[in-house]
């Protein structure tokens, strides 16, 4: 939802920003304190909704949804890096492999 669910955070409390794998999340203060002590697992263990930006909109979601969104973002980044590597580095590696293979099969040229 766009609005925080009842009790997340408690009335009068303000959400606290935490950063997990480069993504900003807004959580209840007690969840932020648990995160500081125990790490990201504390967010899911709380069961309390988390505010995260998804598709340009800030939404309050179940912590498992937030974790999936963070993982999706990391996967997209890795995919982009691999595509760049495949386009820029792979051709040079294939050429080097072929060059050394050629020399290995023709020892008189060495």
pLDDT tens readout for residues 14-32:
999 999 988 999 999 999 9
For strand 50-54 and strand 57-61, is the pairing parallel, antiparallel, or unpaired? antiparallel
Q: 110 falls in which pLDDT band (50, 70, 90)?
A: low
- Average confidence score pLDDT of the chain: 88
The rounded distance, in Å, linking the Cα atoms of 30 and 34 is 6
For position 10, what pLDDT does the model report?
85
Q: Quick: pLDDT tens for 74-95.
A: 899 888 888 887 787 878 888 8
Element (H, E) at 47: none
Residue predicted with more confidence, 106 or 110: 106
Cβ–Cβ under 8 Å, residues 28 and 9? yes
């Amino acid at each position: 939802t766009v609005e925080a669910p009842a009790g997340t955070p408690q009335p009068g409390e303000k959400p606290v920003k935490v950063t997990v794998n480069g993504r900003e999340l807004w959580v209840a203060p007690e969840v932020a304190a648990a995160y500081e002590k125990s790490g990201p697992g504390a967010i899911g263990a709380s069961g309390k909704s988390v505010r995260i930006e998804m598709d340009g909109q800030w939404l309050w979601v179940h912590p498992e949804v937030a974790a999936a969104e963070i993982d999706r973002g990391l996967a997209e980044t890795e995919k982009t890096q691999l595509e760049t590597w495949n386009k820029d580095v792979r051709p040079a590696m294939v050429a080097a492999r072929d060059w050394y293979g050629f020399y290995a099969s023709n020892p008189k040229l060495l």
